C-alpha cells in the first residue's frame, strides 16, 4: 500500500476552515481507518477506482468507483478497502465552523455517500493547488473547494431524487403570474384562456402543480416583494402599494398585516 500525503501549514486559531491532512491512498486489503465519536474531524473522500465499506451509526455502505463519501465529525465510524478490488481515492481531513454551517444549511448531516459524484476533478485539482500554494490552504483553497464540493453534493442528490413533474400548463400559468407581481393581477378568465381550460380546471391544474390556487400564489409573491421593498427601498407605503398593483394603501396594509402579523410601517421599523 502507498499513500501520498499533504500536511499543510498550521491554520490560524480563528480560521473558519482548517485543513488537517490531505492526500491520495492506493489501498490494499489491510487498509482500515476507525475513529471514535469524540473526534471533531470531517472527511471527504472521492473514490477513483475500487470498492470498500463505510460504517457509521449502525449504517453500512459500500462506496465504489465514482462515488464520494462524507464522514461527519462526532460520529464513531470505520471504513476499509476491499482486498480483491481495493480503493484508489483522494481525500481531505478538515474541521472548523464553516464546515458545520454548510452541513446544516445544505441538509447533509445524514448523507454518507453521493453515488456518481459529478465533479471528480475537484479533488486532484485541490491536491495540486495545495502543493503549489500551501500558504493559501486555509484562507482560500480549502474554503473554495469545500463550497464547490458541498453545492455539487446537494445538486447531485437533488437530481437523484427529482421533485414531481410540473405540467407545461402549470409553468405557463406561473410565469404569467410572476410577471404580474408588480401590477394588476390577471383575471381568472385570462388565466383560463392561457391554459385553454375551464376556470375550474385551471385552478385545479395550478393547485395540483404548486399546492395553492393562482390567487393565493400571486398574493404570496406580492407580499414577499413588499417585504423586500420595505427592507431595501425608501419608497412610501402608498408608493409600494401602487407598484404592487393594490387599489389603495389601506387595502395593502390590511392584507400585509394579515399575512405577516405586522403593519407595513412596523415591519420596516423592525428591519
What DSSP letter does each residue of 134-162 carry, written as one string?
A: GGGIIIIIHHHHHHHHHHHHHHHHHHHSP
The model's pTM: 0.72
Range scoring the smallest mean pLDDT among 38-42, 159-163, 187-191, 218-222:
159-163
Residue 223 DSSP code? H
Angle made by CA atoms 238, 242, 248, in degrees to the nearest 5: 65
Phi then psi for residue 160, to 5 deg, are: -75, -20
Cell numbers for 50: 475500487
User: In this model, does residue 271 exceed pLDDT 80?
Assistant: no
Report the pLDDT value the prediction gives residue 144, as an integer from 0 to 100: 98
Residue range 49-67, pLDDT digits in tens: 999 999 998 999 999 999 9
**pLDDT tens, 180-190?**
999 999 999 99
Tell me the percentage of the chain whose pLDDT exceeds 90. 93
Residue 36 confidence (pLDDT): 94
68-114 tens-digit pLDDT: 999 999 999 999 999 999 999 999 999 999 999 999 999 999 999 99
pLDDT attached to residue 132:
98
| Nearest of 137, 35, 31 to residue 92 by alpha carbon | 137
Write down the residue that cell numbers 473554495 correspond to: 144
Average pLDDT estimate for 122-134: 98
Amino acid at each position: 500500500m502507498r499513500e501520498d500525503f499533504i500536511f499543510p501549514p498550521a491554520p490560524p486559531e480563528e480560521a473558519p476552515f482548517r485543513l488537517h491532512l490531505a492526500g491520495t491512498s492506493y489501498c490494499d486489503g489491510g487498509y482500515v481507518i476507525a475513529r471514535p465519536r469524540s473526534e471533531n474531524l470531517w472527511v471527504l473522500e472521492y473514490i477513483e477506482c475500487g470498492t470498500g465499506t463505510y460504517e457509521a451509526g449502525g449504517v453500512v455502505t459500500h462506496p465504489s468507483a465514482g462515488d464520494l463519501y462524507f464522514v461527519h465529525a462526532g460520529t464513531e465510524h470505520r471504513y476499509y478497502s476491499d482486498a480483491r478490488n481495493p480503493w484508489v481515492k483522494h481525500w481531505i481531513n478538515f474541521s472548523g465552523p464553516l464546515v458545520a454551517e454548510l452541513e446544516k444549511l445544505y441538509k447533509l448531516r445524514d448523507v454518507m455517500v453521493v453515488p456518481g459524484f459529478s465533479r471528480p476533478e475537484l479533488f486532484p485539482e485541490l491536491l495540486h493547488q495545495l502543493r503549489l500554494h500551501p500558504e493559501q490552504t486555509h484562507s482560500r483553497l480549502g474554503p473554495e473547494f469545500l463550497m464547490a464540493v458541498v453545492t455539487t453534493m446537494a445538486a447531485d442528490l437533488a437530481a437523484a431524487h427529482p421533485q414531481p413533474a410540473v405540467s407545461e400548463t402549470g409553468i405557463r400559468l406561473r410565469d404569467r403570474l410572476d410577471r404580474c407581481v408588480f401590477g394588476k393581477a390577471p383575471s381568472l378568465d385570462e388565466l383560463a384562456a392561457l391554459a385553454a381550460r375551464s376556470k375550474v380546471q385551471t385552478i385545479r391544474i395550478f393547485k395540483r402543480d404548486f399546492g395553492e390556487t393562482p390567487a393565493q400564489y400571486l398574493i404570496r409573491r406580492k407580499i414577499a416583494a413588499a417585504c423586500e421593498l420595505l427592507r431595501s427601498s425608501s419608497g412610501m407605503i402608498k408608493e409600494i402599494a401602487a407598484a404592487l398593483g393594490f387599489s389603495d394603501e389601506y387595502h395593502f396594509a390590511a392584507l400585509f398585516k394579515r399575512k405577516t402579523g405586522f403593519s407595513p410601517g412596523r415591519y420596516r421599523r423592525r428591519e
